[in-house]
Amino acid sequence: MPAPEPTPTPPAPPVPLAALLARKELGLRLLAGPGDVSLHWVHTSEMADPYPYLLGGELLMTAGVQLTDPARYVERVVEAGAAALGFGVAPVYDTVPPALVEACERHGLPLIEVPPATPFTAVARALWRLMAEARLHELRRVSEAQQSLATAAARPAPVPAVLGALASRLGGRAALFSPDGTESAAAGREIPAEAGRALADLAGVVGPRPGGPASASGDGGGLRLAAYALGGGDGLILGVATDRRDPGDHTIAGVAVVLLSLLTAPHRAADVTSRDTALVRLLLGATPTDAAATLGEGPWTVVHATGGDGTPFAAASLAASLGTALVDGGAEPAAPPGPVRLVLPASAPVTAQPGWTLGASAPAEAQALSAADAQAGRALRRAEATRSPLVRHRAAGFTGLVDRDEAAAYARDLLAPLSPALAETLRTWLSLHGSWDRTAVALGIHRNTVRQRIARCGALLECDLDDADVRMEMWFALHSVADSGQTG
């Protein structure tokens, strides 16, 4: 009779037989066969021929109630694909039949002796518990890997970082292959030349061609190999080589495939990128009427940026981090290097990005985008000159040179030691040019109380309030906190 069709494995990962044998409270003993097989489930049967009732991969438990031909029995169990046989020595047999031990040894089927004091249900419960623990371990491993890959995707050089994180999590090598089989990027440990050639060949099997598989696996050079096609039309392939293949590896690799597909999108979807670039150039150079009609309601912020990791994916990664699809990736290949230019809704925060230098315009309506483009260019030049990761365009005046939110945050930290009463006393005293009497009248307190409070402010702030520079800084800080809606 032919072997049964392969059955999908259960959601829980398999458990090594050795882990079950290690449970001393069960008293199990391996009598024949290898001890390194994996158990997917457990099944108890006293049928003379259990073949029709087995799915494969299970630990079959029996007390030998209908065991008449041990050799034939073992043949049928092996044909069914069972992983191991557990034999209870009570109540039918006092010992495991020698013929059964010999048959299991001959067929390489692990045979476990189950002592009389251990019910089959205890073995099954222990196996399910081990599976649950293994499942929890895999879930934790996959979750940690997902976090690691996501963190890598946010780094200045995201593609190499994701490959490195994937190689580290799987304990092997991860590489990107172009459609012609060239390895364009790689991370992780070196692998034998034979394994490298086999991985490149496997990468050639998958791809976007009609009918081609999205993934493939195999072996080569003593390693386990896998290849995954990235989404898009440029045919990039992720190849992975590891010493072994654990249950969660495919899921972890799948997360990397999604991230790498997003990070390499400009390289693989040049037509979409060209449309976005053309739109940005239109918005920044078109007539006000055309730009307003294209964008709709504003206001908008223009950002100029230099830096990145030098890959074709850098501009798209920056745009994704800033939350916009409107990006011009810079100069054409034959032109001198130029900044990346982006258009964002003014409501989207512009924050410093690792590996980039940014210049941001003031919020502008669609009709004023050309002027905002010039503002962003000037801000970027100031950022490069001052080696600042981000410079924003500011209107004329000293207060316009400081970001209101940043100033308010700094002021709150600076004035944190002061109670609301002390802060109000300091603000009134500074507004009245340090007059004790006028401050006392304004606050309705005794002048000596004013002196005591100002002295207390100086002590808490660890500053000399007789210094004009210190007074000026405190005045600006108090006004910044007041403007932000927090008075103390």
pLDDT tens, 46-60?
Answer: 999 999 888 889 999
Sign for the CA dihedral angle at 213, 217, 219, 223 comes to: positive
Q: Return the number of other C-beta atoms located less than 10 Å from residue 121's C-beta.
A: 11
CATH 3.40.1390.20 positions along the chain are 15-128
CB 156 within 8 A of CB 354: yes
Residues of 150-179 as b/e, b for ≥16 C-beta within 10 angstroms?
eebbebbbbbbbbbbbbbbbbebbbbbbee
Q: What confidence tier does 7 reach under pLDDT thresholds 50, 70, 90?
A: very low
For CATH 3.30.450.30, the residue range(s) in the chain are 154-267
**In terms of DSSP bridges, do strands 38-39 and 15-16 run parallel, antiparallel, or are they unpaired?**
antiparallel
Residue 333 is predicted with a pLDDT of 43
> What's the CA gap between 418 and 154, in Å, rounded?
39
Choice among 116-120, 189-193, 369-373, 451-455 with the minimum mean pLDDT: 369-373
Most confident of 195-199, 294-298, 382-386: 195-199
**One-letter amino acid for residue 480 of the chain:** S
Residues 80, 4 contacting (CB under 8 angstroms): yes
Q: Give the pTM.
A: 0.46
Beta bridge partners of 240: 174, 226
CA distance 186 to 378: 38
pLDDT digits (tens, 9 = 90+) for 157-200: 788 888 999 998 889 999 988 877 788 888 888 989 898 888 88
Over the stretch 57-86, which tens digit does the pLDDT of each residue have? 999 999 999 999 999 999 999 999 999 999
Give 483's pLDDT tier (boundaries 50, 70, 90).
low
- Domain 403-483, what architecture? Orthogonal Bundle (1.10)
Kindly list the distances between the CA atom of residue 39 and the CA atoms of 84, 106, 126, in Å, as whole numbers in the listed order.
8, 20, 12
CATH number of this structure's domain 154-267, picked from the four choices 3.30.450.30, 3.40.50.300, 3.40.47.10, 3.50.50.60: 3.30.450.30
Of residues 424 and 395, the one with the higher pLDDT is: 424
pLDDT(275) > 50 = no
Question: What percentage of the chain has pLDDT greater than the value 70?
Answer: 82
What DSSP string describes 109-145? --EEEE-TTS-HHHHHHHHHHHHHHHHHHHHHHHHHH
CATH class entry, domain 15-128: alpha beta
Closest CA to 187 of 239, 264, 244, 142: 239
